[in-house]
Structure 1
Amino acid sequence: MGIRMKKKNIVISCIAVIVIVGIFVLFYWMRRVQLYDDESTTGNTSGNLLNGGLFCEVDDKIYFANPYDQNMLYSMNSDLSKVKKLSDDNVSYLNGAGKYLFYTKRNDKKDIDADSFMALKSTGLYRTNLNGKDVARLYDDPTQVACLFGNNVYYQHYDQKKGLQLYAAKIDGSSDTQLLEDACAPYAISNQTIYFTGYRSDHSIHTMRIDGSGDTVLLEGNFTALTIQGDYLYFMDMADNYSLKRVSVNGGTPETLISERLATYNVSEDGNTVYCQVDNGTANGIYELDLNSKSLNLVVSGDFNYLHLTSNYLFYESFDQSKLYVLDLATNQSEEWKWEK
């Protein structure tokens, strides 16, 4: 009987160990960062990132930096219903795909003592679940533009001695690699290629493979605000009154789209429409360019900034960032976005 009891106890102990190990394995499996199967996964549109990445649409949700609450992280349905606060972080350059959001955290911009520990330790590149939980840091010093492509976030990494440089951080935090010493902004990534305008040595349009190799000048000039949509690169020509132009991703002769001086712009995902802020001093306002007919029409007069597109709306802010407006793309009607804390 004693031998049987000992064997029974051993079996129970073994089963208990197996269960405990299984629970730990299951917990680890559930908590581990799931990499994307698609190596071309993107987290936001190129045009939205150009405008600060303050809005990002994932499936039927819009994630955004609420300008009425210190740009803290919020979500709402794609029809603008059910507004919900997700985090106290001041966020920008939002990228979302699958179950994750990635963003640049700038809590040093919030209403806190600039000399406090919170201000000094509240910047960087972060990953969180779509509900704002399980926040993880990918880089803990100031960052600027960030763009998700595949399983890496390409971002402007700040170093006190070297300034901004282009890095690639793997989404699970396992690597953080310098790609380029130049402070280029990675707004435009497609087909395993980073398109960017030079910063220190020139302002030409460059192409580079996503591993940091093969830096090549695609188009010489004095350009800024480079984005990509479909087979075209869009940019503002600083040597030609900040006019909007585009060129094929393969290079060639650029095409002038808007000769007026622009402050910013955004291109619709279908590549049919450009929304832009004309800043010529006489007829300032948001305009809509039909890329098929090339007709340019006024949407709303005034001085605005931060143009963000979702599937149904154009969001834009007053120049002083005191008000947020929303344009219904179906009706072309615009109004101030109402929010109560």
Structure 2
Amino acid sequence: MKIVRRIIIAIVALGIIAGAVYYKYINTITYFNDAGTNGNTIGNLYGNGLFCETDGVVYFANPTDYNRIYKMNPDESDIEIVANDSVYFLNADSHYVYYSRQQNRDNSQFGFLNVNVNSLCRLNKRNKKVMILDEADCNACALAGNNIIYLRFDDELLTTNLNTVKIDGTEGQQLSKLAIDPRCVVGEKLYFSGVENDHNLHSMNIYSKDIAYASAFNLWMPIIEKSNLYFIDLDSKHRICKAALGSTDKTVLTSYPAQSYNIDGLYLYYQSMKGNPDGLYRVDMASGAEELIAEGQFNNINITSKYVYFADYFSGEIYHCPVRGNAVSKFDPPILPLDD
């Protein structure tokens, strides 16, 4: 019996050790993506990436709780707090959520020490552990395959430049000394409006750093969806236009100039500039019909499969409206405690 008991104890001990080793292993490995994986829609990232839908879950910066990261179902049920970080520019893949950490306002996980409060981060969906990908002050970011493309502030030179880092935190490097907007990523190619000599459309290979000329339109905030290019046209009094990618012909989509916009395939939402009145408008891209959704000054337009979200420009309060409806109300999620 003593021998059997010792064997059982040895087997249990080995099981515990094996479990501990496996647990340590799965918490150190990185799950890489298929080529061409992107982490959020281009339009949402132009709206500061406050909402990000992936695998039937919406991750969002809770406006009632210092923009801390929460998650919910697309119909806004089952709201949960995910981490104590205040976030924006949310991106996600099957295993991780990526974001730029905002300046936290109270006792976050880094407390009064104020350490890495504006860094680029990766959060593990399974165990909610946070990994810092870049400790520097980071801003707009986008997932491109297994790389994050992002704006990074250089404390020594006091300049902002375009950088990239792998999702495991390795191979960080500068892509450009210029502050090129990283948000229009299609697969693993970056499209951007020129920042030096023109406002035409350019593309960048994020591996070779080669830059190519993509379109002669004088544009801002390009969004590429399949073979279509959407943009604020600086030659059409800032109205939003659509063109086939590579074409020289364009179609004006909006009645008024736009300050910001987003698209969901069927509709275009935009904040008018010099509208009658100013407000958030919705355009049916099939029929061209245009309707006022909410009067006022709004920004940070984000779209999920169920709702369009937008922020009051002055108060920062978030409002929402069904993507196929027009009932506008304040988005007022609860403040929840974070489990230890």
Bin of the TM-score, shorter chain as denominator length:
0.7 to 0.9
Give the AA of the match of 2:116.
Answer: K
Task: State whether residues 38 and 187 of structure 2, in contact with CA within 8 Å, keep that contact through their aligned partners in structure 1.
Answer: no
Task: State whether residues 90 and 100 of structure 2, in contact with CA within 8 Å, keep that contact through their aligned partners in structure 1.
Answer: yes
How much does 1:239 deviate? 4.2
Kindly report which structure 2 residues correspond to 1:296-315, keeping only aligned pairs within 5 A, or say none. Answer: 296-315=290-309
The alignment status of 1:287 with 2:253, answered yes or no, reads no
How much does 1:186 deviate? 1.5
How many aligned positions are there?
327
Question: Aligned to 2:68, which of 48, 72, 75?
Answer: 72
Task: State whether residues 46 and 229 of structure 1, in contact with CA within 8 Å, keep that contact through their aligned partners in structure 2.
Answer: no
Change (3 A) 1:99 1:191: closer
How much does 1:222 deviate? 4.0
| Cα RMSD for the two superposed structures | 2.8
The alignment status of 1:253 with 2:249, answered yes or no, reads yes
1-structure distance, mates of 2:251, 2:170: 42
Question: Aligned to 1:90, which of 63, 79, 86?
Answer: 86
2-structure distance, mates of 1:221, 1:215: 17
1-structure distance, mates of 2:126, 2:61: 14
2-structure distance, mates of 1:307, 1:103: 18
Does the residue aligned with 2:26 lie in a helix, a strand or coil?
A: helix
2-structure distance, mates of 1:321, 1:39: 40
Change (3 A) 1:217 1:118: farther
Deviations, residues 271-300 of structure 1 (Å, cap 9, x unaligned)? 221111112154101111111112222122
1-structure distance, mates of 2:102, 2:60: 14
The alignment status of 1:139 with 2:134, answered yes or no, reads yes
Question: Aligned to 1:242, which of 238, 241, 252?
Answer: 238
How much does 1:18 deviate? 7.5
How much does 1:141 deviate? 1.1
2-structure distance, mates of 1:193, 1:141: 24
Give the AA of the match of 2:96.
Answer: Y
Change (3 A) 1:32 1:141: same
Question: Aligned to 1:187, which of 158, 183, 197?
Answer: 183
2-structure distance, mates of 1:146, 1:36: 18
Gap regions ≥5 residues in structure 2? 336-340
The alignment status of 1:107 with 2:111, answered yes or no, reads no
Deviations, residues 1-42 of structure 1 (Å, cap 9, x unaligned)? xxxx9xxx9x99x99998687446523431134333411111
How much does 1:301 deviate? 1.5
1-structure distance, mates of 2:114, 2:236: 40
> Percent identity among equivalent residues?
29
The alignment status of 1:151 with 2:146, answered yes or no, reads yes
Task: State whether residues 187 and 226 of structure 1, in contact with CA within 8 Å, keep that contact through their aligned partners in structure 2.
Answer: no
2-structure distance, mates of 1:19, 1:340: 42
Match of 2:118 in 1: 123
Task: State whether residues 145 and 187 of structure 2, in contact with CA within 8 Å, keep that contact through their aligned partners in structure 1.
Answer: no
2-structure distance, mates of 1:16, 1:120: 42
1-structure distance, mates of 2:247, 2:114: 44
1-structure distance, mates of 2:205, 2:146: 15
Does the residue aligned with 1:107 lie in a helix, a strand or coil?
A: coil
| Structure with the larger RCO, 1 or 2 (CA within 8 Å, 6+ apart) | 2
Change (3 A) 1:82 1:168: same
How much does 1:130 deviate? 2.5
Match of 1:323 in 2: 317
Change (3 A) 1:132 1:237: farther
Kindly report which structure 2 residues correspond to 1:173-252, keeping only aligned pairs within 5 A, or say none. Answer: 173-220=169-216, 222-252=218-248
Give the AA of the match of 1:123.
Answer: N
Give the AA of the match of 1:289.
Answer: V
Task: State whether residues 202 and 215 of structure 2, in contact with CA within 8 Å, keep that contact through their aligned partners in structure 1.
Answer: yes
Change (3 A) 1:78 1:16: closer
Give me the TM-score of the superposition, normalised by structure 2.
0.86
Give me the TM-score of the superposition, normalised by structure 1.
0.86
2-structure distance, mates of 1:247, 1:212: 28
Task: State whether residues 284 and 303 of structure 1, in contact with CA within 8 Å, keep that contact through their aligned partners in structure 2.
Answer: yes
Change (3 A) 1:202 1:117: farther
Deviates more, 1:143-152 or 1:253-262: 253-262
Change (3 A) 1:237 1:33: farther
2-structure distance, mates of 1:21, 1:212: 45
Task: State whether residues 156 and 185 of structure 1, in contact with CA within 8 Å, keep that contact through their aligned partners in structure 2.
Answer: yes
Task: State whether residues 106 and 142 of structure 1, in contact with CA within 8 Å, keep that contact through their aligned partners in structure 2.
Answer: no
Deviates more, 1:309-318 or 1:208-217: 208-217
Give the AA of the match of 1:190.
Answer: V
Match of 1:336 in 2: 330
